């Protein structure tokens, strides 16, 4: 792999013929076979756009799922989707009607197997597949069975691990677990969150990643960020334990955020996916700005361990804007790559 490989955190906007645009949890516009075909078409378009943007590791842009958490949960047993519970998630940052766990959770069959087979067949590039992390799942579902969040998390972790092993066998080069909850419940992360994450990733020979951000660029998140003060130091509380974990890559929010870049010096043993594209702004970054962030990262971590990435998923953005941001990401990575190889 060349220096500063470029990749995305995960989600990309759905085309307007597939789902309502610029919206999270957007309902599908089609059904049945038409829907299945349209999801594949959308994934294919995004694969080609990522290739043209010169990204090194590509993905399906989560075109097959309505939401990054519930795409996995839909095929898991033990969840009653008719028992909706109003829950304040991410420590009451937003209220959502969530489904309810009513018995032990179990994965009776493959969830994303067909999806990764399709992606694998459509690109020669290394592919990344994203799954929700156990802690974030537990913060996005109500519990009427386990009583303790950590117990529920370990059962979800076992189900995730079965899925991850299948995805690896079907050609995933990187499996990423999305854990935005890690930035909210830092004590729990150290008590059981990382153990659950390692359980989800256990036995995998492919690269494993965890994505920890400050959320999609939606109003509730933007308001929350206003309350976090002039320096966001949440990562500092979890990086020491993450650095000791078996996870290979840590995906972070750095662009336009108040996270001090120096915090990545705590991740001495990890590959670091530096978020260099802000997903909470309609402003298009310049390639130079992307390169600036990556250059700053090299002050605190070996350049061989730094990837160029987006802060988070781009799902809620207008499609055209997301396309341009991907191109900029690729151009920014190229700038710093050339600079370093000449220097
Ligand atoms: Zn994110």
Q: Per-residue pLDDT averaged across 145-158, rounded?
A: 98
How confident is the model at residue 173, as a pLDDT? 98
The dihedrals phi and psi of 129, each to the nearest 5 degrees, come to -125, 135
Distance from Cα 178 to the centre of ligand 1, integer Å: 7
* C-alpha–C-alpha distance, residues 31 and 154, integer Å: 34
Q: Per-residue pLDDT averaged across 181-191, rounded?
A: 96
Distance from Cα 33 to the centre of ligand 1, integer Å: 30
All domains in the chain, ordered by first residue: 32-77+105-132+146-342 (3.20.20.210)
Quote the percentage of the chain above a pLDDT of 70: 100
Q: Per-residue pLDDT averaged across 314-318, rounded?
A: 95
The dihedrals phi and psi of 232, each to the nearest 5 degrees, come to -95, 110
* C-alpha–C-alpha distance, residues 196 and 215, integer Å: 21
Q: Per-residue pLDDT averaged across 272-287, rounded?
A: 96
3-state percent helix, strand, coil for the chain, nearest multiple of 5? 45, 20, 40
Q: Sort 226 into a burial class: Cβ within 10 Å, 0-12 / 13-18 / 19+.
A: exposed
CB-based contact 230:212 (threshold 8 Å): no
Distance from Cα 258 to the centre of ligand 1, integer Å: 15
* C-alpha–C-alpha distance, residues 18 and 306, integer Å: 34
Query: Has residue 342 got a pLDDT over 90?
Result: no
Distance from Cα 179 to the centre of ligand 1, integer Å: 8
CB-based contact 164:132 (threshold 8 Å): no
Q: Give 278's DSSP letter.
A: -
Task: State both tokens at 132.
Answer: 């929700």
Looking at the chain, list the stretches that DSSP marks H as alpha helix, in order from N- to C-terminal side: 32-52, 70-73, 89-92, 113-122, 134-138, 149-169, 186-188, 194-200, 219-226, 234-244, 287-298, 319-342
The dihedrals phi and psi of 307, each to the nearest 5 degrees, come to -110, 150
Query: Has residue 164 got a pLDDT over 80?
Result: yes
Binned at pLDDT 50, 70 and 90, residue 23 comes out as confident
* C-alpha–C-alpha distance, residues 136 and 134, integer Å: 6
Distance from Cα 318 to the centre of ligand 1, integer Å: 17
* C-alpha–C-alpha distance, residues 228 and 195, integer Å: 27
Query: Has residue 343 got a pLDDT over 80?
Result: no
* C-alpha–C-alpha distance, residues 308 and 293, integer Å: 9
CB-based contact 261:298 (threshold 8 Å): no
Distance from Cα 341 to the centre of ligand 1, integer Å: 31
* C-alpha–C-alpha distance, residues 164 and 20, integer Å: 29
Residue 251: its H or E element: strand 249-252
Distance from Cα 202 to the centre of ligand 1, integer Å: 22
Quote the percentage of the chain above a pLDDT of 90: 90
Binned at pLDDT 50, 70 and 90, residue 118 comes out as very high
């Amino acid at each position: 792999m060349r220096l500063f490989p470029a990749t995305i955190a995960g989600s990309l906007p759905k085309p307007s013929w597939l789902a309502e645009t610029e919206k999270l949890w957007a309902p599908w516009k089609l059904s049945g076979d038409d829907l299945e075909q349209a999801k594949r078409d959308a994934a294919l378009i995004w694969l080609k756009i990522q290739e043209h943007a010169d990204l090194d590791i590509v993905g399906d842009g989560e075109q097959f799922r309505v939401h990054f958490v519930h795409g996995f949960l839909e095929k898991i047993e033990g969840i009653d989707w008719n028992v909706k519970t109003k829950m304040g998630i991410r420590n009451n940052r937003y209220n959502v009607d969530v489904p309810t766990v009513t018995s032990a959770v179990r994965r009776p069959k493959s969830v994303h197997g067909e999806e990764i087979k399709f992606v694998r067949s459509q690109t020669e590039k290394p592919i990344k597949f994203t799954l929700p992390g156990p802690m974030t799942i537990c913060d996005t579902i109500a519990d009427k069975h386990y009583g303790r969040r950590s117990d529920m998390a370990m059962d979800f972790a076992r189900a995730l691990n079965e899925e991850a092993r299948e995805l690896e066998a079907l050609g995933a080069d990187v499996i990423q677990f999305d854990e935005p909850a890690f930035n909210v419940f830092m004590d729990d992360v150290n008590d059981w969150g990382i153990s659950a994450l390692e359980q989800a990733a256990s036995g995998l020979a492919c690269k494993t990643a965890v994505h920890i951000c400050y959320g999609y660029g939606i109003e509730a998140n933007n308001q929350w960020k206003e309350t976090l003060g002039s320096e966001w130091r949440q990562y500092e509380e979890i990086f020491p334990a993450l650095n000791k974990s078996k996870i290979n890559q840590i995906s972070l929010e750095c662009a336009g955020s108040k996270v001090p870049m120096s915090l990545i010096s705590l991740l001495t043993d990890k590959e670091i996916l530096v978020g260099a594209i802000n997903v909470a702004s309609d402003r298009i970054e310049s390639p130079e700005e992307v390169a600036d962030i990556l250059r700053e990262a090299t002050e605190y971590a070996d350049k061989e361990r730094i990837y160029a990435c987006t802060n988070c998923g781009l799902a809620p953005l207008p499609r055209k804007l997301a396309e341009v941001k991907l191109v900029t990401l690729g151009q920014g990575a190229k700038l710093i790559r050339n600079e370093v190889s000449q220097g």
